[in-house]
Chain A
Amino acid sequence: MVPATGLCEGCMRTIDEIVAWGRADDATKRAIWAEIRRREAQIAFD
């Protein structure tokens, strides 16, 4: 986890999202995926 963002460095999900993922329906997963893409776009990879 990255302490500053609270995100998993690998999958860019929060602890809440990883825990919820296993029971999430497809719409919820798609919404999280959209959020992951948004987060990826904000992070500068070196």
Chain B
Amino acid sequence: MRLPASMQVFERGWLSANNILFIGRSETTLVDSGYVTHAPQTLALLRHALAGRPLDRIVNTHLHSDHCGGNAALKDAYGCRIAIPVFEAAKVRAWDEDALSYRATGQQCARFGFEATIAPGDVLTMGDLRWQALSAPGHDPHALLFWCAQEGILIAGDALWQNGFGVIFPELAGEPGFGEVRATLDLIAQLAPRLVIPGHGAPFLDVAAALQRAYSRLDYLAADPVRNAENAVKVLLKFLLIERRAIPLAEVTALFETVPLLVLARERFLPRSSAALAQWAVRALEKAGAANLREGILADA
């Protein structure tokens, strides 16, 4: 898998999205900064890879907590500029946690500011290469892709993974998402990248097959919005479980009573008690091998 010499991918996990480091002749840029609790590791990776050079800029594909949680710590360490998708500017300026996704998901993110905004169509130079920002709504209404036509490389964020894509959150709030995901997949198909660097998982070359899987997944979810809500509930619980390692069962039920998106998903799509939904989600994670329940404690697996 050939990557231009000026770019490196730090393949992380699920709590932290991947980071892409560009070392250009006159500027260094990091695309996405991981989850807040992983910030010390993100900084250690950067210090190692930059070998004494400073980090000049952070660029975010979107502002979910697993993609921008390291922004504040890296800014502290390097004094770097931060560039965010333009339609998030007001929310970040005011640090409106209700409008940003952190309160709704029960996730954490350290407050950060920004020096620049990126609009769809803008061209950025990263690692001495030209990257065009493109709008990628669906998983997040304001998410961006970064496309390097010269190299045929797409930085996809959570719009396309090797096996699927990020939860279609807007649909939970009754806002359109399925059509947006389809349009974003169509756009990627049209670009026909040689290599995709996803927000999670390894960079991959077989883009046509990944698109086929993504379209079938979308068809499955869009056919019945309850499926999308069920998927969101499982993913949200799994994320909190990865973050906390283990959660007593009583607290899992409390999460289903208090985390706004879990409440919303239940009220709109999954009518039953919080306790019943919690129990269903725990079973679903156990069945998928994503969690173990022992002596009243749900542990990450």
B13 touches A11 (CB 8 A): yes
Contact of A10 among B9, B13, B44 (CB under 8 A): B13
Is the CB of B174 closer than 8 A to any CB of chain A? no
Residues from chain A with a CB closer than 8 A to the CB of B41 are 1, 8, 15
How far is A10 from B45 in the complex, measured between Cα atoms in Å?
A: 15
Is the CB of B179 closer than 8 A to any CB of chain A? no
A window 1-17: CB within 8 A of B: 1, 8, 10-11, 15-16
A19 touches B13 (CB 8 A): no
1/0 contact trace for A1-43 toward B, CB 8 Å?
1000000101100011011011100000000000000000000
B48 touches A23 (CB 8 A): no
B window 139-161: CB within 8 A of A: none
Contact of A19 among B10, B15, B40 (CB under 8 A): B10
Residues from chain B with a CB closer than 8 A to the CB of A10 are 13, 15
How far is A42 from B49 in the complex, measured between Cα atoms in Å?
A: 29
How far is A21 from B10 in the complex, measured between Cα atoms in Å?
A: 7
How far is A28 from B49 in the complex, measured between Cα atoms in Å?
A: 18
A15 touches B203 (CB 8 A): no
Smallest Cβ distance from B132 to chain A, in angstroms? 22
Closest 3 CB pairs of A and B: A22-B9, A19-B49, A15-B44
Known: A1-B40, A23-B3. 8 other contacts (CB 8 A): A10-B13, A10-B15, A15-B44, A18-B11, A19-B8, A19-B10, A19-B48, A22-B9
